[in-house]
Structures are given as structure tokens and as C-alpha cells.
């Protein structure tokens, strides 16, 4: 009987650290889930970009779970200093082997922390342009206007010139219409201005609609047309002005000329 009691006591003492480890893992996991829920809720209420918010959630999740695992190992008497040292050595080896990928990771972190664009913006970079779907640690995903999904490495993107077409709330539409040399240019200018002023999407600020001679070509005078609009209306305004101004010019008997070459023949 005495031996049985001692055996039970030893078993209890031996099992106690593992029970503590199990409790730390279970309670810690549910605590992390609760913390992440609070973080997601806070991000949804804030104006943080979706990609940056997703990055924060993933980073917090990884860090907290590592802390929980280390705490659980300490509960059963395993020294975590040796594990940390081993991980550090492994991290150095991995960083040397994956230096290009780590460059993309560093680029992704820089893009998230000091964003030149946010999810939903229309950008041009790396020879591609489209709508930003999201930024992860390795790539930035954009969708082109013809529905292609393009993944641009962050390491490349961080060193590229990026044109953000969505950053400002207003954009300027700029078009050129070639008109014949033998017409009254003031009639063409008036026709273009009438079309722009009648378009409800064209704005008078920061500049009123503009129509002036831009240059002189081989076969035509190039009429430059400019109009400001809200960024969301850019393509609608551009297509409307392209169609309506040409129709208005035709109503005034102004046809867009073809390239012409005058040949003079001299007889000896």
C-alpha cells in the first residue's frame, strides 16, 4: 500500500510539469485568439490599409505563439536559451541562402510601413499597371485592366518609380485633336470648349476647361484640350470628350485631316 502511494505521488510530480505545459499551450492559444480578435476589430475601425492590417495580425500571431511555446518548454524544465541560440544560428544560415527573398520581405515591410499606395489604388510600376489587390511579405499583387493577375516582387518594387493614379481626388484629361490648316482655329477651340463645359463631370477647379494650339504638324494644327475631373470619372470623361469633340468638330465642317504630302514636279 505504501509503495502504491509513493508511486502515485511520483507519477503526480512527474506529470505536473507536463500538465502545466499543456495548460499554458491551451490557455495561451485561446488568449491569442482573443487578442487577435481585438486587434482585428481595432484595425477595422481605424483607417489602416487592409494589407498593413493583415501584416500586423500575422506578426502579432507569430510572436505571441512563439512566446507561448517558449513558456511551455520552460514549464517542463527545458532551457529556452539554447533553443533561441539554435534558432539564431539557423536564421543566419537561412538569411544567407535566401538573401533575394529576404530582400523582398524587407521591401514588403517598407511598403507596408511607409506606403506609396494602398489596396485599391491604380498604379503603374515595374512595367505593369493595374489595381492593387494587396501587399504580402514577398509580392505586391495587382490586377490589370484586362483581368490579369500580376505579382511584382517587393524588392523590385521598392526601387522602382511608382505612379499612383488614385492618390489625388482629381485628375486632368489631356487630348490632342489635329485640325486642318485652312480652317479658323477659333471655331475649333470654341467647339471643344462647348463640349467640355456641357459635360457635368468636368470641373472648373483647379482650372477651367482649356483649348489652345499645341503645335504645328506636317498636315495639321494640333489642338490641345485639357479638362479636370474627379479621379473616379477619369475614363468616362476621357472617352466622352474624345467622341463628343470629334462630333462637334464635324458639325462645324472641321474634319480631322489625313497625313498629306505635296509633290511638285519641275519640267526642264
In a domain, 103, yes or no: no
CATH of the domain at 147: 2.30.30.60
**Whether residue 153 is found in the same domain as residue 214:** no
Q: How many residues does the chain have?
A: 268
Q: Do 28 and 82 belong together in one domain?
A: yes
Residue 22 is part of a domain; what is its CATH number?
Answer: 1.10.287.1260
Whether residue 184 is contained in a domain is answered as: yes
Domains in the chain: how many in total? Answer: 3
Highest-pLDDT range among 38-47, 61-70, 96-105, 187-196:
187-196
What pLDDT score does 82 carry? 58
- Residue 98 confidence (pLDDT): 44
Name the pTM for this structure: 0.58
pLDDT exceeds cutoff 80 at 168? yes
What number of other Cβ atoms are within 10 A of residue 47's Cβ?
Answer: 6
pLDDT above 50: residue 97: no
* Same domain membership, residue 24 and residue 74: yes
- Same structural domain, 132 and 90: no
User: Does residue 51 sit in the same domain as residue 93?
Assistant: yes
- Together in a domain, 16 and 73: yes
Report whether pLDDT(13) > 70.
no
Question: What's the pLDDT tens digit per position in 136-164?
Answer: 777 888 899 888 898 888 777 777 788 88
Q: Is the pLDDT of residue 72 over 80?
A: no
pLDDT-based confidence at residue 239 (cuts at 50, 70, 90):
very high
The residue segments making up the domain with residue 138 are: 116-164
Give the pLDDT confidence score for residue 2 in this predicted structure: 45
Tell whether 83 and 122 lie within a shared domain.
Answer: no
What CATH number is attached to the domain comprising 194?
Answer: 3.30.70.100
Looking at the structure, tell me whether residues 174 and 160 fall in a common domain.
no
Residues 147 and 186 in one domain: no
Amino acid at each position: 500500500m505504501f509503495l502504491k502511494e509513493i508511486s502515485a505521488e511520483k507519477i503526480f510530480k512527474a506529470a505536473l510539469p507536463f500538465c502545466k505545459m499543456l495548460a499554458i499551450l491551451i490557455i495561451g492559444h485561446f488568449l491569442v485568439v482573443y487578442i487577435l480578435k481585438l486587434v482585428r476589430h481595432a484595425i477595422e475601425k481605424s483607417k489602416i490599409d487592409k494589407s498593413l492590417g493583415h501584416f500586423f495580425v500575422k506578426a502579432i500571431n507569430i510572436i505571441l505563439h512563439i512566446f507561448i511555446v517558449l513558456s511551455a518548454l520552460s514549464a517542463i524544465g527545458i532551457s529556452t536559451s539554447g533553443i533561441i541560440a539554435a534558432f539564431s544560428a539557423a536564421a543566419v544560415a537561412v538569411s544567407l541562402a535566401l538573401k533575394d527573398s529576404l530582400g523582398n520581405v524587407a521591401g514588403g515591410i517598407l511598403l507596408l510601413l511607409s506606403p506609396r499606395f494602398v489596396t485599391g489604388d491604380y498604379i503603374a510600376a515595374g512595367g505593369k499597371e493595374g489595381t492593387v489587390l494587396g501587399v504580402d511579405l514577398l509580392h505586391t499583387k495587382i490586377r490589370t485592366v484586362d483581368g490579369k493577375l500580376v505579382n511584382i516582387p517587393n524588392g523590385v518594387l521598392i526601387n522602382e518609380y511608382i505612379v499612383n493614379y488614385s492618390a489625388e481626388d482629381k485628375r486632368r484629361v489631356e487630348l490632342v485633336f489635329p485640325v486642318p490648316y485652312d480652317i479658323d482655329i477659333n471655331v475649333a477651340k470654341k467647339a471643344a470648349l462647348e463640349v467640355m463645359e456641357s459635360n457635368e463631370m468636368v470641373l472648373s477647379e483647379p482650372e477651367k476647361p482649356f483649348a489652345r494650339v499645341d503645335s504645328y504638324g506636317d498636315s495639321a494644327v494640333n489642338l490641345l484640350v485639357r479638362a479636370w475631373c474627379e479621379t473616379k470619372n477619369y475614363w468616362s470623361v476621357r472617352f466622352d470628350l474624345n467622341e463628343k469633340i470629334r462630333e462637334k468638330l464635324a458639325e462645324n465642317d472641321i474634319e480631322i485631316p489625313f497625313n498629306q504630302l505635296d509633290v511638285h514636279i519641275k519640267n526642264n
